[in-house]
Chains A and B, each alone.
Chain A
């Protein structure tokens, strides 16, 4: 074994150990922040197909086209089924106190302002809420605490911040150590029984087909399961474009009704 071999071996060992060491040192909040920052594209555009599967296994489909710019602008256009085709949904200043949501209804040729309370409502009958579609971050609403890693993934406990109006009190999240993408999120709501508060599991989100697109890792298949209803939605993305310079004009009432 010559000196060259030893140095090469040491370098390889360092390369292997350092990320693991670094990962071990990260706090829960740092992991959460990193998962958002690393995969925060300037803009995204994607076609989404949703398969709604009820407890009897019956499947119905929805199709939308989605655009986002930064973290605060989102536009969704409904493509199918036919009764909602042409409906548009625009969110400006997302996840802030100045959030504005607009719904365009082609049958009425009218744009309606939507109240914030509608955010937690079901998105097209799916298990995703309007708030969850296109939302990329959790750190505005939750503070994170790191738990013991599981299956080579970070495991975090996210507790809702005092001033947040997020729907769930607590999330348990698994984050890929390679891609820093949440692979599973369990969502808990606070319930009370006999005066005692407890957390009830309401929904589980699972991300699959995590692929690097441009500079960013992202899941191409997301399943959201409503544990109480036994209903789930599989969202599959295609025609994904990131940092493709989506024009600002898209996020206006002018484009919403086109």
Chain B
């Protein structure tokens, strides 16, 4: 399959060129923009200094509005892998293995404005539907799946195929969205090891795991399993308020069944079943400003179906029932004297958490631009409180803007966490990074 990638890439670029040349007479209304990035990261554990990330990225964005009634947008992302994908002598003869890359159609959608009624807009295609008023920590934003692959953009979302209809009625906006096929979250590279850790935690003392099977079941792509959502938003007394409803699937897999079987006196085998629970989410958003202080509140009440976790072992069967639960984010921001920007949020319930025992996080971001805005100093601090267990993550960052549309970012993060905290599982991920970005 990977062998086809260069051909696919070439075809796409040729098609793009052909489309652009054919559309030359109308190109006045089309714009081509993009980004070039280099992202280098290394573990900062003081011993291995291993490079954790080594990626160059080319992003192409094409937007066209040929009339005031319709528009199109597409975004292609071509990215190198962290290193060569070479594991055999034969691989050395494959350019795509030696210089590995991936191509992603990030977004591709069509906008039809004022159709079928003048106050209605339709957007159809692969798209990001971003809901919620909080800053990146949005429990009501459940339409697109999470992308956990990049630790620095944790909580990022993957655009998916959808149809969105937005109606504007004076001060009120009604949005309806339909997502025909479920797409799961992209999990971090440490997902496999965290699953092993989960299984090992249930092994009786003195037993070792000799074999493990896992089965992942996605919802069938049927009309009945299509996901849909609606949101009603309105400004009341200067406050932006919305209520929303989502019926679909949780994009993070649930470890629904783990069966441990003894194969000898000291050895065990495991069989793990992972599913994606059906969820209904009732959301409430609020954003406003008081005395020049911005504030927001986002509450999501989740009603899952079949989100229980069962563990069957020689010691017996235990089932953790997961009923209705509520996640929320509340935050504020303010620009103080000397243009010092502070943004603080309290988040109840981490992205992948479900059930009644949810962690709490205080996330603080402080920013200050210096040297005629050519340099941005930022400090991110995430403090975790999880039933008496605490953890901290500090992330200082310096961004340089040596020229227009050009950014150099230098930063790092240090993570500590007491046993049992979410952050303790990331404690060995301390890293430093250097990123370059140019937009055109």
Contact = CB atoms under 8 A, between A and B. Distances in A.
Interface residues on B, range: 35 or more
A100 B241 CA distance: 13
Contacts of B336: 117
Interface stretch (A14-22, A69-77, A120-128, A139-147): A120-128
B210 interface: no
B373 A125 contact: yes
B33 A100 contact: no
The A interface is mostly helix, strand or loop, or mixed, namely: mixed
Contacts of B295: 115
Interface stretch (A106-114, A201-209, A211-219): A106-114
Nearest to B342: A117
Contact of B294 (A81, A85, A109, A117): A117
Interface stretch (B42-50, B180-188, B399-407): B399-407
B405 A114 contact: no
Interface stretch (B127-135, B247-255, B260-268, B379-387): B127-135
Interface in B390-415: 403-405, 407
Nearest to B33: A82
Contact of B289 (A100, A122, A125, A229): A100
Given A54-B372, A122-B373, A231-B372, A113 B294 contact: yes
Interface in B30-51: 31, 33-35
A81 B128 contact: no
A119 B293 CA distance: 11
Interface string B294-305: 111000000000
A85 B166 CA distance: 24
Given A82-B33, A121-B335, A122-B339, A113 B133 contact: yes
B238 interface: yes
A177 interface: no
Most buried by B among A112, A113, A229: A113
Contacts of B288: 113
B109 to A, nearest CB: 10
B439 interface: yes
B440 interface: yes
B335 A118 contact: yes
Contacts of A81: 404-405, 439
Nearest to A92: B235
B21 to A, nearest CB: 23
B147 interface: no
Contacts of B135: 112
B113 interface: yes
Interface in B330-348: 333-336, 339, 341
B289 to A, nearest CB: 5
B372 A258 contact: no
Contacts of A229: 372
Given A101-B289, A116-B291, A118-B335, 14 more contacts: A83-B35, A83-B437, A85-B33, A109-B127, A113-B288, A113-B296, A114-B294, A115-B294, A116-B293, A119-B292, A120-B339, A121-B341, A253-B173, A254-B168
15 contacts: A61-B404, A83-B407, A110-B130, A113-B288, A115-B289, A115-B293, A115-B295, A116-B293, A117-B292, A121-B339, A121-B341, A122-B373, A165-B292, A254-B121, A258-B113
Interface of B: 31, 33-35, 63, 71, 111, 113, 121, 127-130, 133, 135, 166, 168, 173, 235, 238, 240, 287-289, 291-296, 333-336, 339, 341, 369, 372-373, 403-405, 407, 437, 439-440
Q: Which 3 A-B pairs have the closest CB atoms?
A: A115-B294, A116-B292, A83-B439
Interface of A: 54-55, 60-61, 81-83, 85-86, 98-101, 108-110, 112-122, 125, 165, 229, 231, 252-254, 258
